[in-house]
Structure 1
Amino acid sequence: MRHGKARFVTGFLALPVALYVFYVVWPYAQAVGYSMTNWGGYSDTQEFVGLANYVRLFGDELIHKAFWHNVFFLVTLPLFTIALALFLSFLLNVGGRGDRAGVRGVRGSGIYKIIFFFPQVLSLVLIAIMWGAIYRGDSQGLLNGILIRVGLVDAEAPLKFVSDPTPFLGVPAVLWWLLLIAVWGGVGFYMVLFSAAMQSIPKDIFEAAMLDGASRVTSFLRITLPLLRDSISVAWVYLGFIALDMYALVFMMTPNQGGPDHASEVFASVINFTAFNKGQFGYACAIGVALAIFTLLLAAVQLRVTRRERIEY
């Protein structure tokens, strides 16, 4: 019986596993192989160079710049997105007035959830077109038009937004404007995620805390956050992956897909620039492999640090 079951399972999984190996595992293996060559991408000539491409990474100024830009997103994107999503989800679930029926969320919380989640259903092309009109660097742009009308910006010198490499708090201004788009686009999803987790927490806990004189801030810090730690940990890992990518926004929103003057370069855009502009596919593969290893190590560290015993309630 067991042998028959094993044959059935093997036969059932053989084709999916073969397809996965061919379309997923094998391209990764090819990338590792190409990363050890000086392949130009447009010819069959491939000279084996060993780890020379990986050694080159440590002295590449463009890689250093892209690394710190990714670190900026890695710190700020999860922090701002999770903080705002937690605040909104707490407000929508237990931020209203308490009555005989217990603690309630704010009135119309269901509508607010739909509104905040709406960016998730938009395609990236629509988001780029919309924010391109908002960030337009002349008086016809939405933000510039508003700022000019209220007298905060001179009509002859409008803000450049995603074309502005001027440092702000030590970081190019263009990265802050890209961060705003990323937070706007992601906060709704994580608000819904945290709302679902909060709804699984018995309302009796919040009501007992209120009867004991705990304020909303205290109940949030002492009750909600500890019970949402697992959800927050998962969200932090997912947002970490997004922060280490950011290619789509950089490609579609910035001049020269990483400009101006490489002020918005990230690892993914450097891979594209190195492969298709410089014709150095072997070196680009090395950058991609290094990014994949760094991402896996970061996820492992994050899960290790945030791991704890599960709280039952």
Structure 2
Amino acid sequence: MSFGRARFIFGFLVAPIVLYAVYVLYPYGQTAYYSVTDFSGFSPDYSYVGFGNYVELFSDDVFLRALGHNVVVLTVYPVVTILLALFFAFMLNVGGRGDKAGVRGVRGSSVYKFIFFFPQVLSIAIVAVIWRRVFQSNDGGMINSLLMKLGLVDKDKPLLFLAESDSVFPPIHIGNFVFEAPVVLVCLILIAIWGGVGFYLILFSAAMQSIPKDIFEAATLDGATRVQTFFRVTLPLLREHVSVAWVYLGIAALDFYALVVGMTPGPGGGGPNDASQVMSSYMMSNAFRPARFDSFAFACAMGVSIAILTLLFAAAQLRITRSRDKLEF
């Protein structure tokens, strides 16, 4: 019986494991191998160069600038998305008036949830088309057109938005690293927040609905305000969900490829003048639009570096979460 069960389990697992090894693990290993060679992507002749690509990578000004952009996105995008999702989820589920039946959610909350979630059903291509029209840097753009009609913007000098490379705050230089927030990158972050809030609103709403309403009613009877209820009751009970959301949003912030390529100028996105360049877009530009013939191995080194940074971020976040749980226990 034991042997038959093992054979049955093995029969179901062997195909997924083989497919995962062939289409996921093997490409990862191949990328790591090519990253320590001078493989051009075209010629089958290449040689081992050790960590030369990695040394060159962290002396490349564009890559360091792209890394700084990813850090800015990682700092802003997850925090704002989670805060907005928590606020709207709390208001929709516990923001209604209390009565004899207890604390109620806002009337029509299901409609609001659908509206917030709607961006999730749109493909990135549709999102790019919509927001390019909104941020268009002439009188055909929705924002520029509105501001011109209000007399706040001169018709001959429209706001550039996606074509603006100036930073919204003075760049911060730490060694060779540059941390800045160009206007075009801020626009992309706002779009990402618009698209992400709805999903995490639904996630947090489902978690809030699993909390017994008696807890909220007891807090209300004890005289707690809605703000106190949120910080003292709701937020502690949602800590695990917030941690999961932080990991997912952090991984998305370290990627950020689709919006950059779909919305910014340049052959592979990242424009103007690399103002919206992130690590993933720069990697793809080097791999498939090479500025030099030996850049494929250089791009592989970028891919390995991005993977390591992503794993370190996820591990650090999970470690912090577990440490807090142990301290509270």
Q: TM-score, normalised by structure 2?
A: 0.92
* Amino acid across the alignment from 2:42: Y
What's 1:160 paired with? 160
Instruction: Say if 2:196 is the partner of 1:183.
Output: no
Deviation at 1:19, TM superposition (A): 1.3
SS at the partner of 1:277?
A: coil
Partners of 1:61 and 1:294 lie apart in 2 by 18
What's 1:142 paired with? 142
Instruction: Say if 2:275 is the partner of 1:266.
Output: no
The unaligned stretches of length 5 or more in structure 1 are none
Partners of 2:160 and 2:18 lie apart in 1 by 50
Instruction: Say if 2:26 is the partner of 1:26.
Output: yes
Partners of 1:252 and 1:12 lie apart in 2 by 39
User: Residue 251 of structure 1 is aligned with which of 252, 261, 279?
Assistant: 261
Deviation at 1:213, TM superposition (A): 0.9
Partners of 1:208 and 1:138 lie apart in 2 by 56
Partners of 2:128 and 2:155 lie apart in 1 by 24
Q: Which stretch shows the higher mean deviation, 85-94 or 145-154?
A: 145-154
Identity, in percent, stands at 55
Deviation at 1:6, TM superposition (A): 1.8
Instruction: Say if 2:250 is the partner of 1:240.
Output: yes
Partners of 1:263 and 1:192 lie apart in 2 by 33
Partners of 1:89 and 1:123 lie apart in 2 by 24
Deviation at 1:34, TM superposition (A): 0.7
Instruction: Say if 2:78 is the partner of 1:78.
Output: yes
What's 1:231 paired with? 241
Q: Which stretch shows the higher mean deviation, 137-146 or 301-310?
A: 301-310
Deviation at 1:242, TM superposition (A): 0.5
SS at the partner of 1:167?
A: coil
Instruction: Say if 2:297 is the partner of 1:282.
Output: yes
* Amino acid across the alignment from 1:60: D
Partners of 2:32 and 2:83 lie apart in 1 by 38
Q: TM-score, normalised by structure 1?
A: 0.97
What's 1:96 paired with? 96
Is 2:290–2:296's contact at 8 Å kept on the other side of the alignment? no
Q: Which stretch shows the higher mean deviation, 46-55 or 295-304?
A: 46-55
Deviations 1:53-102 (A, max 9, x none): 11112211111101110000101000100000000000000001101111
What's 1:59 paired with? 59
* Amino acid across the alignment from 1:237: V
Deviation at 1:273, TM superposition (A): 1.6
Deviations 1:272-312 (A, max 9, x none): 121223241001000000110110011000011012549xx
* Amino acid across the alignment from 1:50: G
Partners of 1:309 and 1:201 lie apart in 2 by 19
What's 2:306 paired with? 291
What's 1:209 paired with? 219
SS at the partner of 1:206?
A: helix
* Amino acid across the alignment from 1:225: L
Partners of 2:14 and 2:98 lie apart in 1 by 57
Deviation at 1:40, TM superposition (A): 1.2
Q: Which stretch shows the higher mean deviation, 297-306 or 271-280?
A: 271-280
Deviations 1:181-226 (A, max 9, x none): 0000000000000000000111111111111111100100111110
SS at the partner of 1:139?
A: coil
The unaligned stretches of length 5 or more in structure 2 are 171-180
What is the RMSD computed on CA atoms of the aligned residues? 1.1
* Amino acid across the alignment from 2:303: G
Deviation at 1:29, TM superposition (A): 0.6
What's 1:301 paired with? 316
Deviation at 1:151, TM superposition (A): 1.4
Partners of 2:204 and 2:101 lie apart in 1 by 22
Count of residues paired in the alignment? 310
Deviation at 1:106, TM superposition (A): 1.2
What's 2:202 paired with? 192
What's 2:176 paired with? none
Partners of 2:196 and 2:12 lie apart in 1 by 38
Q: Which stretch shows the higher mean deviation, 183-192 or 2-11?
A: 2-11
